[in-house]
Structure 1
Amino acid sequence: MSKIREDADKIVQAALAAALPDAAVKRALEGRDFGPGRLVLVAAGKAAWQMAAAACGILGERLDAGIVVTKYGHVKGPIPGVECCEAGHPVPDENSFAATQKAIDLVSGLTEQDTVLFLLSGGGSALFEKPLIPAEQLEDITRQLLGCGASIVEINTLRKRLSAVKGGRFARLCRPAKVFSVVLSDIIGDPLDMIASGPAYPDSSTCAQAAAIVERYGLRLSDEARALLEQETPKELDNVETQITGSVRQLCAAAEKACRELGYEPVVLTDQLCCTARDAGSFLGAIARTHNDTQKSLAFIAGGETVVQLTGKGLGGRNQEIALAAAPLLAGLDRAAVFSVGSDGTDGPTDAAGGYCDQESLAALAAAGWDVPATLADNDAYHALAAVNGLIITGPTGTNVNDLTVLLLDRQ
Structure 2
Amino acid sequence: MTFDTQQASALLRRMFDAAIAAAQPSLTLARHLPERPKGRTIVIGAGKASAAMAQAFENAWPWALEGLVVTRYGYAVPCERVEIVEAAHPVPDTAGYDAARRMLELVSGLTEDDLVVSLISGGGSALLPLPLAGISLEDKQQINRELLKSGATITEINCVRRHLSAIKGGRLAAACYPARVCNLLLSDVPGDDPIDIASGPTVPDPTSREDALDIVRRYGLEVPTHVMRALESDAAETVKPGDVLLPPIDTTLIATPRMALQAAASVAHEAGLAVHLLGDAIEGNSRDVGLVLGALALESANHQLFPSPCVLMSGGETTVTVRGKGRGGRNVEFLLALALTLRGDTRIHALAGDTDGVDGQEEIAGAIVTPDTLQRAWALGIRPQDALTNNDGHGFFEALGNAVVTGPTFTNVNDFRAILIAP
TM-score of the superposed pair, with normalisation by structure 1: 0.95
Asked whether the equivalents of residues 18 and 260 of structure 2 are also in contact (C-alpha less than 8 Å), the reply is no
Q: Equivalent residues in 2 for 1:229-308 (5 A)?
A: 229-230=231-232, 231=234, 232-235=237-240, 236=243, 237-293=246-302, 296-308=308-320
Q: How big is each residue's C-alpha offset from its partner over 1:7-47, in whole Å with a ceiling of 9 and x where there is no partner?
A: 11111111111122333311111xx4222201011121011
Structure 2: how far apart are the matches of 1:385 and 1:35? 51
Q: How big is each residue's C-alpha offset from its partner over 1:75-116, in whole Å with a ceiling of 9 and x where there is no partner?
A: 13x211121111111111111111212222221222221111
Structure 1: how far apart are the matches of 2:362 and 2:293? 24
| Letter paired with 1:92 | P
Structure 2: how far apart are the matches of 1:315 and 1:308? 10
Of residues 11, 19, 22 in structure 2, which corresponds to 1:7? 11
Structure 1: how far apart are the matches of 2:253 and 2:167? 20
Structure 2: how far apart are the matches of 1:332 and 1:188? 31
Structure 1: how far apart are the matches of 2:318 and 2:331? 8
What does residue 149 of structure 2 align with? 147
How far did residue 227 of structure 1 move? 2.8
Structure 2: how far apart are the matches of 1:400 and 1:67? 20
| Letter paired with 2:8 | I
What does residue 402 of structure 1 align with? 414
What does residue 86 of structure 2 align with? 86
What does residue 50 of structure 1 align with? 52
Asked whether the equivalents of residues 266 and 300 of structure 1 are also in contact (C-alpha less than 8 Å), the reply is yes
Structure 2: how far apart are the matches of 1:105 and 1:410? 57
Q: Secondary structure at the match of 1:256?
A: helix
Asked whether the equivalents of residues 353 and 367 of structure 2 are also in contact (C-alpha less than 8 Å), the reply is yes
Distance change (3 Å), C-alpha of 1:180 and 1:381: same
What does residue 381 of structure 2 align with? 369
| TM superposition outliers: structure 1 runs of 4+ over 6 Å | none
Q: Secondary structure at the match of 1:131?
A: coil
Asked whether the equivalents of residues 284 and 338 of structure 1 are also in contact (C-alpha less than 8 Å), the reply is no
For these two proteins, the number of residue pairs brought into alignment is 407
Q: Secondary structure at the match of 1:301?
A: strand
Structure 1: how far apart are the matches of 2:364 and 2:223? 33
Q: Secondary structure at the match of 1:399?
A: coil
| Letter paired with 1:267 | H
How far did residue 331 of structure 1 move? 3.0
Asked whether the equivalents of residues 121 and 198 of structure 2 are also in contact (C-alpha less than 8 Å), the reply is yes
Unaligned runs of 5+ in 1: none
Asked whether the equivalents of residues 50 and 398 of structure 1 are also in contact (C-alpha less than 8 Å), the reply is yes
Q: Secondary structure at the match of 1:11?
A: helix
Of residues 15, 20, 28 in structure 2, which corresponds to 1:16? 20
What does residue 126 of structure 1 align with? 126
What does residue 354 of structure 2 align with? 342
Asked whether the equivalents of residues 330 and 337 of structure 1 are also in contact (C-alpha less than 8 Å), the reply is no
Structure 1: how far apart are the matches of 2:308 and 2:223? 55
What does residue 225 of structure 2 align with? 223
Q: How big is each residue's C-alpha offset from its partner over 1:306-327, in whole Å with a ceiling of 9 and x where there is no partner?
A: 0001011212410111111111
Unaligned runs of 5+ in 2: none
What does residue 63 of structure 1 align with? 64
Q: Secondary structure at the match of 1:182?
A: strand
Q: How big is each residue's C-alpha offset from its partner over 1:235-292, in whole Å with a ceiling of 9 and x where there is no partner?
A: 1323322112221111221122111112211111111210111112222222222222
Q: Equivalent residues in 2 for 1:90-169 (5 A)?
A: 90-132=90-132, 133-169=135-171
Structure 1: how far apart are the matches of 2:209 and 2:254? 30
| Letter paired with 2:92 | P
Structure 2: how far apart are the matches of 1:49 and 1:150? 28
Q: Secondary structure at the match of 1:299?
A: strand
| Letter paired with 2:372 | E
Q: How big is each residue's C-alpha offset from its partner over 1:212-246, in whole Å with a ceiling of 9 and x where there is no partner?
A: 11110112223332233233211132332211222
Asked whether the equivalents of residues 285 and 338 of structure 1 are also in contact (C-alpha less than 8 Å), the reply is no
Identity percentage of aligned residues: 39
Structure 1: how far apart are the matches of 2:85 and 2:344? 49
Asked whether the equivalents of residues 161 and 228 of structure 1 are also in contact (C-alpha less than 8 Å), the reply is no
CA RMSD across the alignment: 1.5
| Letter paired with 1:311 | R
More divergent stretch after superposition (228-237 vs 333-342): 228-237
Asked whether the equivalents of residues 173 and 247 of structure 2 are also in contact (C-alpha less than 8 Å), the reply is no
Asked whether the equivalents of residues 165 and 199 of structure 1 are also in contact (C-alpha less than 8 Å), the reply is yes
TM-score of the superposed pair, with normalisation by structure 2: 0.93
Structure 1: how far apart are the matches of 2:52 and 2:19? 16
Q: Secondary structure at the match of 2:61?
A: helix
What does residue 191 of structure 1 align with? 193
Asked whether the equivalents of residues 176 and 247 of structure 2 are also in contact (C-alpha less than 8 Å), the reply is no
